[in-house]
Amino acid sequence: MIHMAKPEWLREKLAIDRSRLGEVKAVLRSLSLHSVCEGAKCPNIGECFASKTATFMILGDTCTRGCHFCAVKKGTPSTIDENEPAHVAEAVLKLGIEHVVITSVTRDDLVDGGAGHFAKVVTVLKERCPDTTIELLIPDLEGNWEAIEEIVTARPDVLNHNIETVPSFYGRVRPGAIYERSLELLSRVKDLDASIVTKSGIMVGLGERVEELYSTMNDLLAVGCSMLTIGQYLQPSHSHLAVARYVTPDEFEAYRKTAIEKGFAFVAAGPLVRSSYHAAQGFSSLR
């Protein structure tokens, strides 16, 4: 298989304040916390850590799913750390985070998929960090709608669930996931609490057609999703799916404009955009 060289727009280096980057890492290590920034090899880790922001990854660092695009470790997860909600709140306070993003590995080994733990994290954050807005990026919980209701009842400000790719690619990209189930999850969140902002994200460059991408946007709008991120898929290792093509910055801008015209309230689109990239700015733009 031929692996394409990255284009110039993906090889630009951002200036990083190493001292601040180290400070964030030190706080995470001292509290036994994980970040998806590190676990998923996010290309924006330097920029985000240097800005004293991070996306916390709860429920361990090992995923039970075998998605072919993700760098997060797969295997048998560890037991849940019951002190994790308090530790997340402590890290938020130490780092002065005003908008926190909480995600997790997928835990299909748990009856509720980890929903109860998500709810505890939100509850503790609301108690200890009342001025911090909370965004959750959750897995599909295998369509356990009672578990989804438990998360919604905790009332995060934003609930993000990534659709990831177009429906025709699900079997190859997201084995174990179901396109219609992900849409239903977002729909049920709005049915349960219309005040919660729903958000989703799409990777491009896997070989999807533009028409498929725009159709997926329509599907997300139909279930009340108002925030969207679109970013370039980057192959984490040779054992992951190969990149079919690199989408140009001009194409990303066209995607962004089309999404806004279709009705999304906020859209971030670009080669290095990820689901929690500039999350605070996105949410504040809706307030």
pLDDT tens per residue across all 287 residues of the chain: 456 778 888 875 544 445 566 777 788 889 888 765 554 445 555 556 555 566 898 988 777 666 555 666 667 777 899 999 999 999 999 988 889 999 988 888 899 999 999 999 999 999 999 999 999 999 999 999 999 999 999 999 999 999 999 999 998 888 888 999 999 999 999 999 999 999 999 999 999 999 999 999 999 999 999 999 999 998 876 777 889 999 999 999 999 999 999 999 999 999 989 888 788 888 988 87
Burial (Cβ within 10 Å: 0-12, 13-18, ≥19) of residue 60: buried
**What is the architecture, at CATH level 2, of domain 16-284?**
Alpha-Beta Barrel (3.20)
Please, what's the largest Cα pairwise distance for the chain? 52
Query: What's the whole-model pTM score?
Result: 0.89
Domain ranges of the chain: 16-284
Q: Which H helix or E strand runs over 121?
A: helix 115-128
Closest CA relative to residue 51, chosen from 69, 63, 37: 37
Closest CA relative to residue 34, chosen from 121, 142, 150: 121
Structure confidence by residue, pLDDT tens digits, 86-117: 999 999 999 888 899 999 888 888 999 999 99
Please give the pLDDT value at position 14: 46
Please give the pLDDT value at position 40: 44
Exposure string for 162-186, b = 16+ CB within 10 A, e = fewer: bbbbbbebbeebbeebebeebbbbb
